Structure 1
Amino acid sequence: MMLLWRRSLAARFLTLVLFALALSQAITFLISWDERGQALHSAAKGEFVSRTSSLALLLDTTPPSLRPDILDVSGTVYTRFWTSRDGPSDPLAWQKEAFAQLSKPLPGVAGKYAAALNGQASTGVDSADPSVSPRMLDVSTNGVGPFTRPAKFLYMNAAPNGMGLSVRLDDGTWLNAAYAKAIPNAFWTSQSAMSLGLTALILSAIAIFGAQAIARPLRRLANAAELFGRGETVPRLPESGPDDIRLTAEAFNRMQERLQRFVEDRTRMLAAISHDLRTPLTSLRLRAEFVQDHELQEKMLKTIEEIQTMTEAALSYAREDAAVEATRTVDLSALVGSLCDDLAELGQNVTVSEGPKVLYRCRPDSLRRAIRNLVENAVRYGEHATVSVVRKPDSLDIVVKDGGPGIPTADMEQVFAPFFRLEQSRNRETGGVGLGLSIARAIARHHGGDILLENRTKGLRAIIRLPRIDMTKQVAPAPAPEVPEPAGLRTLPI
């Protein structure tokens, strides 16, 4: 349940709505329960007094011999009637008599129905304490209520909601009536439970619909941010809905456009600078040819060649960065295997560990170049390379191992800097220009991953760690835009 609460917006929204419903119902119950109890008590009292008054009038007009039968048939489950010669001068004694009358079974009823009624009749007095004195009130004969004769009303405090009434008849005898019925807790009935359940069901449906309406654009934003962080061009998010969601979508669209413009401008500038360096390099090479000192000429030509190599590498990097490759789903294991086979055919000591089919959405040409750079470094500095694809719960690792000397811990981060080389000479036979790891890390980070370097007991382990994504939840990427080559960028002979 806690996991669902942490991960699901709909679950949180639904829980809060149901909690608000329960709290509002509880507050309403507490406020209205006392009024309800008073209303039920007032209604029961009015019916009891009216019934007793009518029965007193009936007894005054009938022969005394019929009174016992009339009193018997007038009794109800919670009410009993009897006559006495004297009025309730002793309230406690009258209350005891009332309890005794209420405990008697109803006459003329037999069988299971009688047992049920008798059980209900005694319900109001089972928990009564006969020692608790009732409160007796005199009902005046000035026309208050339905009485125009002496009458006394008693509140039987010993019984729940207990009431008693004594009315003097015309012949001087007294009609006594007793009522005892606990007000049931009728708040939680099957009808109220059904009503509350139906209300909760309707509110739950509304809450789930509302939560989904809120979560849907948030999921779309998260998917778009994930794709954009992996270097893909995503379609503009719909700028609609409530102000908060609409403003968020607008901000994301503006951010994406600004970042794309920034990357394009930086790439074009780098490509233009690298291209423009070709002309002075060509001029320097031509002038070096006229130098008479052969030793000096050789040094100048080596320096020019070194600058040319770095320029070509930078220009190649800029061109590849400017070319936007379409993202597609490939078998990662097959991609790594085919690359290693190609390098092995070229005479490099490369082995690959066979693994299961791993589908992954990426830019395969770029990723292939990153893996190739790591493998070539492993062969160059560690004499051999062992490559494998490892599945992890939250990532896919492309692991390249070698048996070389490794990298000093202090230089683990520095080796990713452009043009940095552990091998200090600029001899291309012993090392490249220092862009291989930089390019590989840039490609990995464009895919939302990174490159990790770890020294082993003998050798180095280089890992391209790519994030695992649920491709079924990804929004469709927008078509890759055409990035024009910078003006004047053309190949010049050197």
Structure 2
Amino acid sequence: MMRIWRRSLAARFIAFLLLALALSQAIGFLVSWDERGHALRLAAKSEFFSRTASLAMLLETTPQAFQSEILQVSGTAYTRFWITPEEPVDAACWRDDAWVHLATPLPSLKPSEARDPAIAAPAASASAGVPGVVSATVHRPQWAELSSHAWPLSRPAKFMYLGASNGMGLAVRLDNGAWLNAAYAKSTVNAAWTRQSILSLLITAIALSAIAVMVARGITRPMRRLAAAAELLGRGESVQPLPESGPDDIRQTAEAFNRMQARLQRFVDDRTRMLAAIGHDLRTPLTSLRLRAEFVSDPEVQEKMLATIEEIQTMTEAALAFAREEATVEDTRTVDLSALVESLCDDLAELGQQVVFLDGPRLNYRCRPDALRRAIRNLVENAVRYGERARVRLARTAESIDIVIEDDGPGVPDGDREQVFAPFFRLEHSRNRETGGVGLGLSIARTIARHHGGDVVLRNLDRGMRASIILPLEARNEKRGTRNE
């Protein structure tokens, strides 16, 4: 779950929306809880008054012989009716009598069905005697007079709360002088979660989750597109401008990326043109110096001057070649990297160089094959030149593909391990092209590797040195390469 939380924006949106939903439901529940309970009590009281008034009117129009049966069939699981000849005065005694009637099963119901738990407990106390019941109550009950405007009949009545489980009692005088007594007791459970509320909450949560997924996708889609474009740009590939659409934040991000890409491309083009112009302009003074050196009478001085001019011209030509290749945009495509490296090693071996390719896994990789081939060739030729022979192999790790070149040479001093990648730097100081080149081989190799998002790393062994081209390996690049195949 933590991994999904860290990696998925949709999961965070869903979690926050569901948290907001839970908080809103809790606040709404706290606000409406007391109101709902009060409304339920008022509804029960109104129904109790209406039912008692209707029964009183019915009894007044019915012969006395049928009143007992009417009282029995009018009772419910939570309501009982009975008639007393005299007005109830003692509220405590009437209350105890009411609990006894409520605990008496109805004729048509089984005892277990007639009793409510809220009624049975007070009834048990009542059966033990009045003092037990009185001691169980919080306060002594009192009758309250109901005017004709407080309930359905036009005559006054007497009302009390039984003190537990929303219990109520009512006594009203009939036309014949007797009193109709009514008792009601029901434990109303003001349930916080009903099936309807849970279903409503579930539907709301699903709807909010779907909305969160759509919102997250709307945000992450351009972000993924931006991340892929930035990865390709960092690997030196040509990237189409991102669509500048959507909300202001996303649109401004795409615009900023497009401006950055245009500026970088303009900077690279300006630098390449500058190098090419400098290299081209150097040819004229070099030619002039060569002509003037021909008129030097001292042969030894003349030879040194011509050697220096030749060295400057060689470096200039190498810089021009490097600039031209920098300016050349090669298409990126998926190639069989093992076949590319093996064919290069075979070509160098046919030229008489001590190069061996060690069989390894067959790997496909998305790259600029001509540039990568040149980087590998530079490292292999360096290994042969300074280490007598080169052993080349491919290795795959969890995060990269490594092209490893090992030799049997003296290696590179630790203090110069990074310095050797500087342009025109050579450990061999004779400046002889036959023994040391011009000092651009490693610089070009690292530049090409870094254009692919990787690097070139040197490491001294017990005997010899290992040069590794580390190329990044990412799942989306592999999938893209597989589709392009």
Question: How many Å separate the matches in 1 of 2:90 and 2:410?
Answer: 112
Higher relative contact order (CA 8 A, sep 6+): 1
- Aligned-pair distance for 1:210? 1.2
What do the CA deviations read for 1:372-397 (whole angstroms, capped 9, x no partner)? 11111122222222222211112111
Alpha-carbon distance, 1:88 to partner: 4.4
Corresponding residue for residue 471 of structure 1: 477
Matching residue of 1:82: 82
Aligned to 1:261: 266
Shift of 1:64: 2.8
Contact 2:37–2:190 (CA under 8 A) maintained in structure 1: no
CA displacement, residues 259-316 of structure 1 (integer Å, 9 cap, x when unaligned):
1011001001101111221222222222222322221121112111111111111111
Once residues 402 and 462 of structure 1 are traced to their aligned partners in structure 2, the CA distance between those partners, rounded to angstroms, is 9
1:181 Cα shift? 1.6
Could you tell me whether the CA contact under 8 Å between 1:223 and 1:473 is conserved in 2?
no
Query: Which stretch shifts more, 204-213 or 81-90?
Result: 81-90
- Following the alignment from structure 1 to structure 2, what is the Cα–Cα distance between the partners of residues 424 and 94? 121
SS across alignment from 1:429: helix
- Map 1:77-226 to 2 at 5 A: 77-109=77-109, 114=110, 117-118=113-114, 121-126=115-120, 128=122, 130=133, 131-132=136-137, 133=139, 135-141=141-147, 143-157=149-163, 159-226=164-231
> Does 1:298 find its partner at 2:292?
no
Q: Identify the range of structure 1 (245-254 vs 426-435) with the bigger mean alpha-carbon deviation.
A: 426-435
Q: Report matched runs for 1:192-341 at 5 Å.
A: 192-341=197-346
| Preserved contact between residue 134 and residue 155 of structure 1 (Cα < 8 Å) | no
Residue 362 of structure 1 corresponds to 367
Give, in whole Å, the separation in 2 of the partners of 1:134 and 1:281.
122
Distance in 1 separating the partners of 2:140 and 2:393: 93
Q: Residues 423-450 of structure 1, C-alpha deviation per residue, up to 9 Å, x if partnerless?
A: 2221122212111111111111111111
Any conservation in 2 of the 1:400–1:461 contact (CA below 8 Å)? yes
**Cα drift, residue 401 of structure 1:** 1.7
The one-letter amino acid of 1:34's match is D
Aligned residues: 469
Separation (CA, whole Å) in 2 of partners of 1:100 and 1:152: 19
Residue aligning to 2:46? 46
Q: 1: distance between equivalents of 2:459 and 2:336?
A: 26
SS at match of 2:436: coil
| Cα deviation digits, residues 446-484 of structure 1 (max 9, x gap) | 111111222222222222111113137659xxxxxxxxx
Residues 95 and 134, structure 1, Cα contact 8 Å, conserved in 2: no
Tell me by how many angstroms 1:319 deviates: 0.8
2:89 maps to 1:61 = no
User: How many angstroms apart in 1 are the aligned matches of 2:317 and 2:24?
Assistant: 74
Query: Which deviates more, 284-293 or 247-256?
Result: 284-293
Q: 1:251 offset after TM fit, Å?
A: 0.7
- The C-alpha deviation readout for 1:119-157, integer Å capped at 9, x for no partner, is xx4133245574114643422445432344453212122
Which blocks of at least 5 consecutive residues in structure 1 are unaligned? 476-494
Cα 1:101–1:238, aligned 2, differ >3 Å: closer, same or farther?
Answer: same
Indicate how the Cα distance of structure 1 residues 472 and 246 shifts in structure 2: closer, same or farther if over 3 A, else same: farther
How far off is 1:365 after superposition? Answer: 0.5
- Residues 1:68 and 1:437: Cα distance change in structure 2 (over 3 Å): same
In the alignment, does 2:386 pair up with 1:386? no
Task: Give the structure with the larger helix fraction.
Answer: 2
Match of 1:488 in 2: none
1:178 alignment partner, SS class: strand
Distance 2:158 2:286 in 1: 125
Paired AA for residue 341 in structure 1: D
The 1:353–1:297 alpha-carbon spacing in structure 2 relative to 1, beyond 3 Å, is: same
CA contact 2:167–2:184 (8 Å) conserved in 1? yes
Hey, what's the Cα distance between the residues in 1 that align with 2:354 and 2:84? 121
Q: Is the 8 A contact 1:78 1:124 kept in 2?
A: no
Deviations 1:52-94 (A, max 9, x none): 1221222233233322211110011221112234444443433
Pairing 1:389-408 to 2, within 5 Å after superposition: 389-408=394-413
Query: Cα distance, 1:38 vs. partner?
Result: 0.9
What whole-Å deviation, never above 9, does each CA across 1:173-220 have from its counterpart, x for those lacking one?
332212122223444222222222222222221211111111111111
Q: Distance in 2 between matches of 1:409 and 1:137?
A: 104
Match of 1:426 among 425, 431, 452: 431
Q: Distance in 1 between matches of 2:255 and 2:147?
A: 83
TM-score, normalized by length of structure 1?
0.90
Q: Which ranges of structure 2 fall in alignment gaps of 5 or more residues?
A: 126-132
Amino acid at match of 2:240: P
Q: Is the 8 A contact 1:134 1:154 kept in 2?
A: no
Change in Cα spacing, 1:202 to 1:312, as seen in structure 2 (3 Å) is: same
State the distance in 2 between where 1:395 and 1:115 align.
80
| CA 474–185 in structure 1, closer or farther in 2 if over 3 Å, else same | farther
Structure 2 vs 1, CA of residues 126 and 358 (structure 1 numbering), >3 Å: closer, same or farther? farther
For residue 116 of structure 2, what is the amino acid of its counterpart? S
**Structure 1 residues 427 and 115: CA distance shift in structure 2, 3 A:** farther
**What amino acid is the match of 1:122?**
D
Q: How far, CA to CA, are the matches of 1:473 and 1:26 in structure 2? A: 47
Aligned twin of 2:2: 2
Residues 340-387 of structure 1: CA distance to partner in whole angstroms, max 9, x if unpaired?
111111222222221222111111000111111111112222222222
With 53-62 and 212-221 compared, the bigger mean Cα shift is at 53-62
Q: Is the 8 A contact 2:92 2:141 kept in 1?
A: no
Paired with 1:270 and 1:289, the residues of 2 have a C-alpha distance of 29
Change (3 A) 1:459 1:107: same
Task: Provide the secondary structure at the position in 1 that maps to 2:116.
Answer: helix
> What is the letter of the counterpart of residue 123 of structure 1?
P
Aligned partners of 2:365 and 2:478 also within 8 Å: no
